[in-house]
Structure 1
Amino acid sequence: MKILFTILLFAVTAGECDSSVATKGKDTAQEEDVRFYYNALSRGSFYDVTITREAITVKKSRNESDKIVVKTGDEDWKALLTELHKTDIARIRELKAPTDKRLYDGAAHAELIVTKDGEEYRSSGFDHGYPPEAIAPLVKTILGLAETVEKQ
């Protein structure tokens, strides 16, 4: 009876360990199911940045052949996820732009879209270079990575 109890206890404990490992793996996979999309448009300019776990894509024209694609580094991805966790993305649509230069062609009209777990979170429009304070660190990180890609 003691042997049977010991085997049963061992089986249950081993099963719990497997389920916690599976859960940790699932969390990582969900984090990798994030996409960042930033664009800035005006009558004379076009700037488009898409960042996934796999690649950073930068386009400075509407022509598909002019895009630059670079693999996303682990540290860059971690930095993006860190900024994302600091941001309440469910409320980015409600944020007010600090400036309105885009209304009279004084700045490009910019927008941030974050797709996480199949759900799309879209910011309200803002001036390129002047995002709302709540998303400024995330936008700064995205634009910094894009600038690094352009220099390569």
Structure 2
Amino acid sequence: MKAIAIVLFTLLMGKGCSGNGAELALAKLTYTAQSRGVNKVITIQNQDISVESGRGKDATVTVSTISEGDWNDLVRQFDKIELEKMETYADPSQERFHDGAAIANLTVEYNGKVYRSKDFDHGNPPKELKALVDKIFSLISEK
């Protein structure tokens, strides 16, 4: 009887820990894009999304709640990311080196750790992050 209980417990725990869906609810995602003319910070935490555009006194901040359907889509995209490997994802272009694109990156804070991607061109994330970044931008009115 103990063996059955242990096997059942192990299966339930394994199923509950698969994917990052539960982690996304406890994580904080921050997408930043910066250049001389661009300053955008998108923060997702607890099913809320905050968008800061501009600098100093000209900065605007909007906060809204992510719908259940969009949240579920975001969770699916987040599940595909291997947090420990984020910093190794290759940037597909280097337009930011000559002011051809703003410098962007994605940071995930979870469980006391910070996972950060390499810098990449705003609008052209690493292929492993593309679906997640595209979903993030679909949640805000301007791109």
TM-score (norm 2): 0.78
Alignment of 1:66-105 (within 5 A): 66-105=60-99
Kindly state the Cα deviation for residue 96 of structure 1 after the two structures are TM-superposed.
1.4
- The corresponding residue for 1:109 is 103
Kindly state the Cα deviation for residue 129 of structure 1 after the two structures are TM-superposed.
0.4
Deviations 1:47-98 (A, max 9, x none): 1100112411111112476101111222222211111111112101011111
Structure 2 letter corresponding to 1:85: D
- 1:48 partner SS: strand
The aligned length equals 130
- The corresponding residue for 2:136 is 142
1:56 to 34, 39, 49: 49
Can you give the 5+ residue segments of structure 1 that lack an aligned partner in the other structure? 1-12
- On the 8 A contact 1:52/1:72 being kept in 2, the answer is no
- The corresponding residue for 1:129 is 123
Gap change, CA 1:72 and 1:109, over 3 Å in 2:
same
Which protein is bigger by CA-based radius of gyration? 1
* Percent identical: 32
Deviations 1:94-116 (A, max 9, x none): 11111000001000000001122
- 1:99 partner SS: coil
- On the 8 A contact 2:48/2:63 being kept in 1, the answer is yes
- 2:139 partner SS: helix
Check if 1:37 corresponds to 2:38: no
Gap change, CA 1:47 and 1:30, over 3 Å in 2:
closer
Gap change, CA 1:123 and 1:78, over 3 Å in 2:
same
Deviations 1:11-44 (A, max 9, x none): xx9xx99xx7xxx6xx986541011110100011
Q: CA RMSD in A?
A: 2.7
